[in-house]
Amino acid sequence: MKNAILLLAACAFATASFAQTPETEVKVRDNGTKKVVTKTGKTNVGQALENTADAAGNVANKAGKKIKKGAHKAGTKIKGTSQKASKKAVESSEKVETKSE
């Protein structure tokens, strides 16, 4: 199983390295001189995949923050409610004790 994963990773790396070969273009200016332009970087597909991954990461990050904030708010509400209930229970038990004496 490890060999298959290693083989797939090697193939993906090799494909990515071939996709990013530099391209050269020769541009002729208005005055007749020539300029050689070398383009390197991601292919259109590679850039689209990176943009999609970034967008998915941003959505996941925002969702995680919202979940964390909601859990924190719920925790504080539960804590407050339990403290109120605890106080009432203590007060009612004190009342019962005073009546029984």
Q: What is the pLDDT of residues 5-39, one digit of tens each?
A: 666 566 555 555 555 566 788 888 888 889 888 77
Q: Which residues contact 90 (CB under 8 A, 6 or more apart)?
A: none
Compute the CA torsion angle 45, 47, 50, 51 (nearest 10 deg).
-110
* Residue 100 falls inside a structural domain: no
pLDDT of residue 96: 79
pLDDT of residue 91: 86
* Residue 77 falls inside a structural domain: yes
**pLDDT tens readout for residues 64-87:** 899 999 999 999 999 999 999 999
Domain region containing 53: 2-92
* Residue 45 falls inside a structural domain: yes
pLDDT of residue 67: 92
* Residue 52 falls inside a structural domain: yes
Band (pLDDT 50/70/90 cuts) for residue 101 is: low
The mean pLDDT value for 45-56 works out to: 80
* Residue 101 falls inside a structural domain: no
* Residue 98 falls inside a structural domain: no
Instruction: Tell me if residue 24 falls in helix, strand or coil.
Output: strand
Distances (CA, A) of 15 to 40, 48, 74, 96, 101: 15, 16, 48, 79, 86
- How many domains is the chain built from? 1
* Residue 50 falls inside a structural domain: yes
pLDDT of residue 55: 82
